Structure 1
Amino acid sequence: MRQRLSAITAACVAAVIALGCGTVATATTAGADPDGGNGGKAAKGLCAPGVPIGPEGEKFYDPPSPLPKGNHGDLIWARRVDAPKGSSACRILYRSTLQTGKPVAVSGIVAWPDAPAPRTGRNVVAWAHGTVGGPRQCAPSAVPNPATDLVGYYTYDSPWGIDVGVPALTPFLASGDVVVGTDYQGLGTPGVHQYTVAVTETNNVLDSVRAARQITATHANRKAAVLGWSQGGGAAAFIAQNYRAYTPETQMVGIAALAPAANLGPDFRGLVLPGPTDATSASHNAALRTNVYRGFLAAYPELKATDVLKPAGLQALSGDGVACIEHFADVIQNNVGNVGQLDTLFQPLTVVPEVWHQRFSENTAGLVASVAPILVMQGTADTVINPNSTDEYVKRACSFNKPVEYTKYQGATHQTIPNVAEPEYLGWIADRFAGRPAPSNCA
């Protein structure tokens, strides 16, 4: 897997070689004792007492075959990683399921405060990350120090080829919350990532909450909230609808969705008014569209690639399994976008068979009532998730007379929305944990 991980960036390679992509070489931050505490008597890399220690480096992401018997959400193994001051963190591997019910291994991270837990235990915030691409090496937990506040790809601070970390991680930890973040199936672990396949993604997020509770050191209770962005925002919207059927023991207090990918059905019929654009957004959105097709082809065997992709698009489809999303988008921009040939990739939406549209509709959020309060945050200058698409999702969600709070941030982009909306979702999630009534501004 060394080659797979090395594709993130050259900088990541250097860090992976230095740190072993999972080995804590030095305890540079509180909660990062390489011997797992206990005065150095515990085994190196121990996450918490009673939790099997996962292998070092890339082997961490290769699960046992066959998978250990158990239930979805059961931990397979874990390994300690560096954490923000005053907290502990681990990389985790746990059981989950695909939309068919097939068991799979999924990776991720969990972090929790070192301070004594309250008598009622700690609330859990589940992070559902945005699009990073299709290949295994794009897993956010695969970098040497994944338990960090969000480091966006489009910042001078990032050495990575993807977005890494969790928005507001340190404020959540300071509030006493446990934070868990899934990589989703097929990112990190084997298998083709079922991108935007709602049931698979929601299962992976909900099972990460179960996995966090299995680490007794977290003192996690049954209350949970989900914070999702883009791809993860769409998953969060579905969790608001179906979590009781899959993890009935979880008390889901609220769903906060940043620029959610929640409108696939209308989007893929070409029924939504155009949104903001920039010089590269058409190629970037072509990369996302290819990623959707690849995920659906993996999930639904009756679908055919030639129904949606032309020969040049089939070639691009193979590249979607090699490059993380920004690299992939740059390749599309260079190869076809710069010469005005994006139309050589895709079959027109008007000729896409109805069987594809049926699957897009199944993965469109807001068609049934939510069983948890929802907060939606959308930037008006977003060139990735069309604000008009988010408007449509919110209108559907509001039609069931359930609490939905919708905030538009003037001038915010897809990349800036996690930062500019941070005060709102921090306060909103804290209020839901406190049991305060959820606001709603549905018309």
Structure 2
Amino acid sequence: MSVGRRAAAAAILVIGLTAAPASASTASQTGADPSAFVSDDEMPAFYTPPEQIPGERGAIIRSEPMTYYGDALHVSELPGTATRMMYTSRDRGGSPLAVTGTVIVPDEPWTGDGERPVIGYAVGTQGLADRCAPSYAGAYGIEYEVVLMRNLLDQGYALAITDYEGLGTPGPHTYMNREVEGKAVIDSVHAARNLPGSTLAADGPVAFVGYSQGGGGAASAAELSRTYAPELDVKGTFAGAVPADLEALVANIDGGFNSMFTGYTVAGMADGYGIDTDPILNDAGEQYLDDVRDSCTLDLPKYGFRPFTSLTTDGESAAELFRQQPFADVVAEQRIGERRPEAPVLVYHSALDEIVPYETGRTLARDWCDLGARVTFKTDLTPGHFPAYVAASPTVNAFLDDVFAGKTTSSSCWRL
């Protein structure tokens, strides 16, 4: 069976079994009853940061072994040794921030040239509730991104998987906040190397990989690493379905099946920048944001088909809100494509993506080209946002093979 077909089969298994109950063994790992995944009443104590957070970026605050299941029936585990961690990153103001995540290192020895590469893996949209954190959901076997994670582990790469700011840990998840997401991805790589007993080389090769929200996180890490972490030996970045233009994103999905992500984006901007939405949203709108703040991606059917015009006091759409203050400057700050990545990038986007507009990905690639970056733009024809993610593995593998081997990647700038 091909890599793509195996990935598709794995995705079906993960999604199709998400309603299955978690086992008692998983509960013992997280310190919570399995029903806690549903109720989100209280996260395990692991996710509560100490009063004093170490100042060094990537410093380990605490860690513990975990099992990262590949499906909700716990038939399979991701191939490698998994460790849940809490580490130091930076918030938007530059202050130390406690972030959780997972490190998975393949058990098989690295057989490639040099040191084992570390992938700063940026996950796609998980939700806004603490229980959506990948380091938590993975212990229950209901993390849908195991498809690409497993593929990368099979190639021998170590994964540093951030939960981002506010997923698992106290405080709001600052969804789609470009800078804090990129820094959380970068600092997860440092943290992976700082784990007690880590076998990962401090100066080994690094790449960033992500799709959807994760495409934004990986792209942001690519842009920031040159100045934020020049010590990292970044070889390249795979950024798929990047929501580089948030106004275009919400205009595309507002009122449709995927409109919950509009709510996520508005909440992420408001929570990340302290925007008071009381004068902007009506009572139904405030209730809707409260509801989606306590949801995960699997709740999508519950919160779809809600036009944002029905949630605002003046009947404005989310895109119209994003063109006005107090949102306009905040949304502009999230634009990806205004800073040049130092290492090669592969921008991957399905022409049939129903969530993140294809033209957004193409514009991002063109913007980076204009800044002098080395950009490969890959158009996929898989119908649908998530199916295109499932189909991405061969493209990811070929790109990482090339950048870790030091080969010159193809440039698409001449045709964009």
Give the TM-score of the pair, scaled to structure 2.
0.81
1:207 aligned onto 2:187: yes
Aligned position for 2:89: 96
Residues 30 and 139 in structure 2, CA contact (< 8 A), matched pair in contact too:
no
Aligned position for 1:35: none
Change (3 A) 1:391 1:115: closer
Query: 1:389 and 1:357 mapped to 2: Cα distance?
Result: 18
Change (3 A) 1:196 1:80: same
Query: 1:213 and 1:226 mapped to 2: Cα distance?
Result: 15
AA in 2 matched with 1:242:
L
Shift of 1:190: 1.0
Query: 1:398 and 1:282 mapped to 2: Cα distance?
Result: 34
Change (3 A) 1:309 1:390: farther
Shift of 1:70: 3.5
1:361 aligned onto 2:341: no
1:92-131 matches, within 5 Å, as 92-117=85-110, 120-131=114-125
Change (3 A) 1:266 1:113: closer
Change (3 A) 1:21 1:286: farther
Deviations 1:379-408 (A, max 9, x none): 122111111222222221222232111111
Give 5+ residue unaligned stretches, structure 2: 1-14, 32-42, 69-76
Q: Percent identity?
A: 28
Query: 1:407 and 1:262 mapped to 2: Cα distance?
Result: 16
Aligned position for 1:223: 205
Aligned position for 1:287: 260
Query: 2:231 and 2:279 mapped to 1: Cα distance?
Result: 42
AA in 1 matched with 2:205:
K
Shift of 1:314: 1.6
Match of 1:58 among 44, 47, 58: 44
1:423-434 matches, within 5 Å, as 423-434=394-405
Moved over 6 A (4+): 8-13
Change (3 A) 1:419 1:266: closer
AA in 1 matched with 2:297:
I
Shift of 1:367: 1.7
Match of 2:29 among 22, 31, 37: 22
Residues 21 and 143 in structure 1, CA contact (< 8 A), matched pair in contact too:
no
1:244 aligned onto 2:229: no
Change (3 A) 1:13 1:285: closer
Shift of 1:225: 0.5
Query: 2:238 and 2:309 mapped to 1: Cα distance?
Result: 35
Change (3 A) 1:223 1:420: same
Residues 117 and 219 in structure 1, CA contact (< 8 A), matched pair in contact too:
no
Shift of 1:64: 1.7
1:22-421 matches, within 5 Å, as 22=29, 58-67=44-53, 69-82=54-67, 84=77, 87-117=80-110, 120-143=114-137, 145=139, 160=142, 163-215=143-195, 216-220=197-201, 221-264=203-246, 267=249, 282-301=255-274, 303-306=275-278, 308-327=280-299, 329-333=300-304, 337=306, 342-346=308-312, 347-348=316-317, 349-350=319-320, 352-421=323-392
Shift of 1:170: 3.6
AA in 1 matched with 2:198:
A
Aligned position for 2:4: none
Aligned residues: 373
Query: 2:28 and 2:102 mapped to 1: Cα distance?
Result: 13
Give the TM-score of the pair, scaled to structure 1.
0.76
Deviations 1:45-80 (A, max 9, x none): xxxxxxxxxxxx82221222233x331211111111
Query: 1:195 and 1:204 mapped to 2: Cα distance?
Result: 12
Change (3 A) 1:367 1:115: same
Change (3 A) 1:372 1:10: closer
Query: 2:78 and 2:351 mapped to 1: Cα distance?
Result: 35
Secondary structure class of the residue paired with 2:161: strand
Query: 2:148 and 2:172 mapped to 1: Cα distance?
Result: 30
Between stretches 181-190 and 241-250, larger displacement belongs to: 241-250
Aligned position for 1:28: none
AA in 1 matched with 2:162:
T
AA in 2 matched with 1:398:
C
Query: 1:96 and 1:109 mapped to 2: Cα distance?
Result: 14
Deviations 1:341-389 (A, max 9, x none): 6520242444652341121111111123222211111112211111122
Give 5+ residue unaligned stretches, structure 1: 1-7, 25-56, 147-158
Query: 2:165 and 2:121 mapped to 1: Cα distance?
Result: 15
Aligned position for 1:46: none
Secondary structure class of the residue paired with 2:390: helix
Between stretches 253-262 and 118-127, larger displacement belongs to: 118-127
AA in 1 matched with 2:122:
A
Shift of 1:425: 0.8
AA in 2 matched with 1:320:
V
